[in-house]
């Protein structure tokens, strides 16, 4: 995201609060960015750092062309320090090294900024060391702590930060973002319905495994409509070999739910809400097979199957039972 205008479309409240801090010359010494993965925390922290260092900015908007802006983009700004988990956690030694860096005079200016990614993954020793760092803030230092789980961060650390809550992205916005990146409209609709996490949607779209999920769901519907006696055979020989992990099976069931949601939307004449737009012929056929009430019941059956998967019931048994239930 190259500008505050861009990021305001995704996180209007947070962006407004941060840009106001420049207009009022009240940049805090520490911020805690709380929000799900893919909601723009890292992008906003980078843009905020640019606004702090850029000598050519207009109000809060960095120029994007100066030496400071370009060095931040390349990850080479000497007064901007990133800290990320080393292995499974952020360790005390990493915070000590950060503190050591901050004892030196800024190379480009008197300002220094540090950004801690996945701050909830600090060890107890690292968190206590950071707390001491935050207790003696310099007016020339700005900290940004990024987390998906602020409750796992020490209360004493949270109390010293300005908390900014990043909201889940609007599904329509996720769909638009995906289409802007070249994702087909049909795939963008499915991905935006599965997750409002843009990064997660992008990862699914790039995954060859996910590319076959939609195809298998349509094939399963075709079997249930035209060859119900082959349902269990399909589950054992085509469905289960593709969904080898429980989390993968959950995604498959989520896409199957989207199909039955489409069926209900067909009954309600909500054409714009339909995800599988290209499957009209099969959907018209399905209307003759499942009533609106039985389609709603099918959604309940799929939700029950998802609960059983979470309860470690054998996945194949869960899918076999669900298939028999959907055939009735």
Four-way CATH pick for 207-327: 1.20.120, 1.20.950, 1.20.272, 1.10.3470: 1.20.272
114, β-bridge pairs? 81, 143
Task: State the span(s) of the chain assigned CATH 3.40.50.300.
Answer: 4-165
Q: How far apart are CA 54 and CA 223, in angstroms?
A: 61
Q: Residues with Cβ < 8 Å from 130, sequence gap 6 or more?
A: 95, 116, 122, 157
Comparing 126-130, 185-189, 245-249, the range with the smallest average pLDDT is 185-189
Task: State the span(s) of the chain assigned CATH 1.20.272.
Answer: 207-327
Torsion of CA 168, 201, 42, 166, to 10 degrees: 0
| pLDDT value at residue 107 | 59
Q: What is the pLDDT of residues 195-236, one digit of tens each?
A: 877 778 888 999 989 989 999 999 999 999 999 999 999 999
Structure-token pair, residue 121: 């993954």
Q: What is the pLDDT of residues 130-143, one digit of tens each?
A: 998 888 766 688 99
Architecture of domain 4-165: 3-Layer(aba) Sandwich (3.40)
Within 10 Å of residue 131's Cβ, how many Cβ atoms? Answer: 16
Alpha-helical (H) ranges within 118-226 are 124-135, 155-158, 171-180, 185-194, 198-206, 208-226
Q: How far apart are CA 48 and CA 25, in angstroms?
A: 14
Q: Are 169 and 39 in contact (CB under 8 A)?
A: yes
Task: Read off the pTM.
Answer: 0.66
Q: Is pLDDT at 309 greater than 60 in this prediction?
A: yes
């Amino acid at each position: 995201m190259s500008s505050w205008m861009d990021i305001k479309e995704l996180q209007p409240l947070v962006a407004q609060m941060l840009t106001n801090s420049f207009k009022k010359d009240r940049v805090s010494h520490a911020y805690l960015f709380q929000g799900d993965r893919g909601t723009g925390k890292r992008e906003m922290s980078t843009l905020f750092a640019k606004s702090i260092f850029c000598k050519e900015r207009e109000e809060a908007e960095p120029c994007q062309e100066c030496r400071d802006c370009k060095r931040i983009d390349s990850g080479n700004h000497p007064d901007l320090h990133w800290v990320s988990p080393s292995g499974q956690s952020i360790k005390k030694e990493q915070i000590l090294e950060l503190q050591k860096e901050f004892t030196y005079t800024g190379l480009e200016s008197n300002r220094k900024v540090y950004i801690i990614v996945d701050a909830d993954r600090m060890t107890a020793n690292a968190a206590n060391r950071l707390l001491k760092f935050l207790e003696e803030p310099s007016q020339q230092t700005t900290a940004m702590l990024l987390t998906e789980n602020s409750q796992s961060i020490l209360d004493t650390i949270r109390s010293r930060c300005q908390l900014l809550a990043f909201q889940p992205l609007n599904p329509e916005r996720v769909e638009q973002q995906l289409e802007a990146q070249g994702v087909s409209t049909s795939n963008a609709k499915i991905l935006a319905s599965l997750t409002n996490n843009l990064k997660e949607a992008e990862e699914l779209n790039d995954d060859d495994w996910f590319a076959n999920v939609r195809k298998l769901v349509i094939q399963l519907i075709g079997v249930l409509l035209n060859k119900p006696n082959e349902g269990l055979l399909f589950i054992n020989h085509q469905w289960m070999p593709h969904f080898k992990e429980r989390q993968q099976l959950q995604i498959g069931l989520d896409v199957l739910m989207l199909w039955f949601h489409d069926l209900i939307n067909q009954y309600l004449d909500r054409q714009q809400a339909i995800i599988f737009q290209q499957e009209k012929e099969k959907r018209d056929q399905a209307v003759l097979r499942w009533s609106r009430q039985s389609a709603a019941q099918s959604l309940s059956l799929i939700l029950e199957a998802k609960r059983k998967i979470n309860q470690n019931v054998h996945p194949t048994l869960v899918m076999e039972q669900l298939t028999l239930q959907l055939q009735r």
